[in-house]
C-alpha cells in the first residue's frame, strides 16, 4: 500500500504533488491517493507535510473509509520527528477503538516496536489478534502480518510460544522458520568474520526477501462490483442499456453473493467487493475513451477500483456488518 522506492530513484515530492492533484480531480478516491502522497512525503523527509495531509483527511473523518488507518499512519509519522507524546495519545486512541481492520493494529504496534517499546508492542499485537482472530477458523491473509509481528516481538522478548505463535509458524511459507528469522542474535552475525555465519545470514535474508516479494506479487482481489441502491438507480436512469445487466437492485445484490460463493467453492482465493459510484464510473469511462453504457467496462472498472485498494474482503469477518450496506450483520443478511 505504501511506496518503498528509495529517494534516489524517484522524486517523492513530485509524486506527492501529482497524487494531490489527482485527489482534487477524483475526490471519491482522495483517501487512498492522499495516503499514498503522505507516504511519498515521509520518504522525501518532509514529515510535517505528511502530517498535514493526514490532518486534511481526518478533518473529513465522517467520509473516510478507514479513519483508524489514517490515525495510525499519522501517529507513526509524528513519532519519527519528535512528537512522541502526541503519537502515544493517538496510538492509545486506536487501541481503545479496537478497529476491525488489521492494518491500524500492525502500524501502531510496529511504531512501538521501532522505538523499543517491546512490551507495549506485544500487548498491541495481542489485542489486535484478540479482536480479529477470536473464534475465526482460518485467519484471513490480511491478518498474517499481525501474527508475524506478534511472533517477532515475543521472540525478541524471549517469551515461550503460545497457540498464536504456533499458528504464525504454520502460516509462514518460507523455507526458513519464523524462529530463525526472528532470532535476536541474528544482528550479531552480520558483524561476524566467520564465513559460515555470514552465509547462513545471507540465506535467511534471501528467504525474508522471498516472502516479502510473494506478498507484493499477490494478485489484486477477484473483485465483484457492487452498486448501492441510489447509485444503481442513477446509473440505469442515465444509461438505459445497463438495465439488462441490472434488472433490479435486489437481483443485483443476490447475484453478487451467488457469484462470490461460486468462486469460493471453485477454490478461487482473495475474493473481494468494490463499491461503485456513478461519477467515478463516468470518469473511468472517459479515461478509457468509451461510453458508460458499454457493459464491457464494468469488470474493468471493478478491477481498477481493486487495484486502488478499494476492495473489501469477502466474506466479511464474523460479527461484522453485511457488505450490502443494510446495517445488519452478514450472518443475518446475505450470509444466511
> What is 140-203 written as a DSSP string?
-GGGHHHHHHHHHHHHHHTPPP-HHHHHHHHH--SSS-HHHHT-TTHHHHTT---HHHHHHHHH
- pLDDT for position 2: 43
| Mean pLDDT, rounded, for 272-283 | 89
Please say if the pLDDT value at position 185 is more than 50: yes
Q: How far apart are CA 58 and CA 51, in angstroms?
A: 10
pTM for this structure?
0.61
| Mean pLDDT, rounded, for 286-294 | 85
User: Is 5 strand, coil or helix?
Assistant: coil
For residue range 23-38, list pLDDT tens digits in order: 888 888 888 889 989 9
Among 158-172, 275-289, 316-330, the range of highest mean pLDDT: 158-172
Q: Which residues contact 171 (CB under 8 A, 6 or more apart)?
A: 139, 144, 147, 148
For residue range 77-113, list pLDDT tens digits in order: 999 999 999 999 999 999 999 999 999 999 999 999 9
Q: Which residues contact 185 (CB under 8 A, 6 or more apart)?
A: none
Q: How far apart are CA 272 and CA 223, in angstroms?
A: 5
Please say if the pLDDT value at position 71 is more than 70: yes
Amino acid at each position: 500500500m505504501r511506496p518503498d522506492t528509495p529517494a534516489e530513484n524517484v522524486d517523492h515530492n513530485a509524486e506527492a504533488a501529482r497524487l494531490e492533484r489527482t485527489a482534487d480531480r477524483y475526490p471519491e478516491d482522495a483517501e487512498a491517493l492522499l495516503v499514498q502522497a503522505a507516504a511519498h512525503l515521509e520518504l522525501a523527509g518532509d514529515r510535517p507535510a505528511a502530517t498535514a495531509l493526514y490532518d486534511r483527511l481526518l478533518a473529513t473523518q465522517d467520509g473516510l473509509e478507514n479513519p483508524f488507518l489514517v490515525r495510525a499512519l499519522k501517529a507513526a509519522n509524528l513519532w519519527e520527528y519528535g512528537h512522541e507524546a502526541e503519537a502515544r495519545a493517538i496510538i492509545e486512541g486506536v487501541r481503545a477503538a479496537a478497529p476491525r481492520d488489521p492494518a491500524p493494529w500492525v502500524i501502531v504496534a510496529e511504531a512501538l516496536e521501532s522505538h523499543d517499546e517491546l512490551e507495549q508492542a506485544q500487548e498491541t499485537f495481542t489485542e489486535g489478534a484478540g479482536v480479529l482472530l477470536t473464534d475465526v477458523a482460518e485467519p484471513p491473509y490480511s491478518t498474517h502480518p499481525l501474527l508475524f509481528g506478534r511472533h517477532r516481538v515475543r521472540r525478541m522478548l524471549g517469551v515461550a510460544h503460545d497457540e498464536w505463535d504456533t499458528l504464525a509458524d504454520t502460516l509462514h511459507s518460507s523455507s526458513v522458520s519464523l524462529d530463525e528469522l526472528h532470532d535476536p542474535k541474528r544482528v550479531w552475525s552480520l558483524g561476524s568474520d566467520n564465513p559460515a555465519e555470514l552465509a547462513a545470514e545471507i540465506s535467511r535474508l534471501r528467504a525474508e526477501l522471498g516472502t516479502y516479494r510473494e506478498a507484493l506479487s499477490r494478485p489484486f482481489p477477484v473483485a465483484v462490483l457492487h452498486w448501492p441502491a441510489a447509485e444503481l438507480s442513477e446509473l440505469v436512469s442515465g444509461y438505459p442499456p445497463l438495465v439488462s445487466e441490472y434488472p433490479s437492485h435486489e437481483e443485483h445484490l443476490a447475484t453478487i453473493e451467488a457469484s462470490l460463493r461460486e468462486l469460493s467453492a471453485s477454490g478461487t482465493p482473495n475474493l473481494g467487493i468494490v463499491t461503485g459510484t456513478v461519477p467515478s464510473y463516468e470518469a473511468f469511462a472517459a479515461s478509457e475513451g468509451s461510453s458508460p453504457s458499454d457493459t464491457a467496462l464494468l469488470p474493468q472498472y471493478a478491477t481498477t477500483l481493486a487495484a486502488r485498494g478499494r476492495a473489501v474482503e469477502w466474506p466479511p469477518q464474523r460479527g461484522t456488518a453485511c457488505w450490502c450496506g443494510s446495517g445488519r450483520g452478514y450472518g443475518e443478511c446475505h450470509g444466511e
